[in-house]
Structure 1
Amino acid sequence: MNSTLDGKVALVTGGGRGIGAAAALRLASLGADVALTFQHDRSSAEDVVDRITAAGRRAVAVRADSADPAAVIAAVDRAHGELGRLDILVNNAGAFLLGPLEELTLTDFEQTVAVNVRAPFVACQAAVRHMPSGGRIINIGSNVAERAVFPGFALYAMSKTALIGLTKALGRELGGRRITVNLVNPGPTDTDLNPAGGPDAGTINGFTALGHYAVPADVAAMVGFLAGPDARYITGATLNVDGGFTI
């Protein structure tokens, strides 16, 4: 097993399935102990924990609603308390609410901003209280922050675009502590929410340069790289893992 992250502890929000689960497993494969949050699907989260512990790493699943700031802070503190430290934060949990502008409600707006903008901010704020020199913050955004090719994405794209500013500003602010902050923007990725065999997949594939969806492990590989020692001089950056969707 690769031990680049041996002795490190990571927290992955929304780590029970999809990209979050792949990121949690990738970090564990590199040697980290991993805490992950989930909201509803305890079974999937516990399956990820079981896979990590079977590989010889420690893991814990924490139920937390990312729309609740107190729950986000408690999850960060629990990850630190149960696993003894906190070196890596992956802000992955997200709300994916789409629709025509005139049909979106203020409730939709508040839920999206709470999960996609406020939760990463609150998690970063809580995490840096524990994070040592050399820590890593990795935000998971979306390719639609740079190229929204379909109608109905205004609210989601706006929320993910906010992570660009957060990433750049925190990269500057935390640089003196040798904590790096970077943003990964996935493109079309084969998950439950956007399956590669879905009805719109052919059209979506046509917008990429490579002509096909990513798998979650493709995005997780970038997360693993940014968490490791080879990325120590990268901060404030946006890395697109999108098959050329935005070129």
Structure 2
Amino acid sequence: MSTADVSSKTLTDLISLAGRRAVVTGGARGLGKSIALRLAEAGADVVIGDIEEDLAVQTAGEIARRHGVRTLGCALDVTDSASICAVADRATTELGGLEIWVNNAGIFPSVPLLDMGDDLWDKVLDVNARGTFVGSREAARRMTGGGVIVNIASTAGFRGSAPGLAAYVSSKHAVRGLTRELALELAPLGIRVLGVAPSHVPTEGNIAAATAAGVPAEQLAQMALMMTGPIGRPGVPDDIARVALFCASDLSAFMTGSTLLADGGTTA
């Protein structure tokens, strides 16, 4: 199955996701929520899957009120294949299909290599790499008419990042490689696979993680300034969401296998 030539579509039609159904993992807050909001604004019905079920339901309700689309909030543990299957099934049975799947859920604990135990290494790879693999597999099994898988990677998937992030950097390199391989394997099914690689973007999740690790507020502000590249400002979640929307829409219809840097030029 080849993707259609969309040259005759208007710009409005190219960006429209009307009639499409999307799942965003880790979608209850941060980057995931921003991505879900943009997909819904473009007309997609959206399933919010998150480890925090109550927050997923709350976010789904907020998106439905703002954009008038159908939404579902679901408990989702991306380390549990059965949980992923259950969310994918809800999308197809309750919304009627599945065309867009965003693998956004991720964790980023910072532990020096010499102090890192096997369990922590396994957990990071389970969430960030295996969760992306299983999510992509289950989404592809249900995309009977083609679709798009968007994997949220990181600039850490292009280079080393910082001391203490060996597991995270390894997992995001794996996501980039998986994106390229899945693009090859799924192209005959009419499924495109793209990655988005943000630099550090302050969100509720990474601010909470840094605070829990004892990073002072002034150091967090300094980190944000350090991540300012040629664009001249730190990134915000919607900067990443707009790139994800591009990937999910027909604007990117001739693209698959690429991982797009959304980093303000910091990786240049």
Indicate the TM-score class for this superposition, using the shorter chain for normalisation.
over 0.9
Offset, 1:204? 4.5
Moved more, 210-219 or 104-113: 210-219
For residues 213 and 104 of structure 1, the distance between their equivalents in structure 2, rounded to whole angstroms, comes to 30
2:154 matched residue in structure 1: 142
Asked whether the equivalents of residues 101 and 154 of structure 1 are also in contact (C-alpha less than 8 Å), the reply is yes
For residues 220 and 150 of structure 1, the distance between their equivalents in structure 2, rounded to whole angstroms, comes to 25
Q: Which has the higher helix share?
A: 2
Map 1:1-247 onto structure 2 (within 5 A). Answer: 4-40=16-52, 42-43=54-55, 45-54=56-65, 55-195=67-207, 199-207=219-227, 208-247=229-268
For residues 153 and 188 of structure 2, the distance between their equivalents in structure 1, rounded to whole angstroms, comes to 25
Asked whether the equivalents of residues 78 and 135 of structure 2 are also in contact (C-alpha less than 8 Å), the reply is no
Unaligned runs of 5+ in 1: none
Asked whether the equivalents of residues 9 and 88 of structure 1 are also in contact (C-alpha less than 8 Å), the reply is yes
For residues 194 and 236 of structure 1, the distance between their equivalents in structure 2, rounded to whole angstroms, comes to 27
Asked whether the equivalents of residues 26 and 224 of structure 1 are also in contact (C-alpha less than 8 Å), the reply is yes
Unaligned runs of 5+ in 2: 1-11, 208-216
Larger-gyration structure (1/2): 2
Number of matched residues?
245
Moved more, 143-152 or 58-67: 143-152
For residues 53 and 89 of structure 2, the distance between their equivalents in structure 1, rounded to whole angstroms, comes to 21
Offset, 1:27? 0.4
For residues 48 and 40 of structure 1, the distance between their equivalents in structure 2, rounded to whole angstroms, comes to 11
3-state SS in 2 of match to 1:36: strand
Offset, 1:142? 1.0
Offset, 1:74? 1.4
Percent sequence identity over matched residues?
A: 38
2:8 matched residue in structure 1: none
Q: TM-score, normalised by structure 2?
A: 0.86
Amino acid at match of 1:52: I
3-state SS in 1 of match to 2:261: strand
What does the per-residue CA deviation read over 1:46-100, in whole Å, with 9 as the maximum and x for residues that have no partner? 3321222112100001101112121112111122121110000000001212110
For residues 63 and 138 of structure 2, the distance between their equivalents in structure 1, rounded to whole angstroms, comes to 25
For residues 97 and 124 of structure 1, the distance between their equivalents in structure 2, rounded to whole angstroms, comes to 24
Q: TM-score, normalised by structure 1?
A: 0.93
Moved over 3 A (4+): none
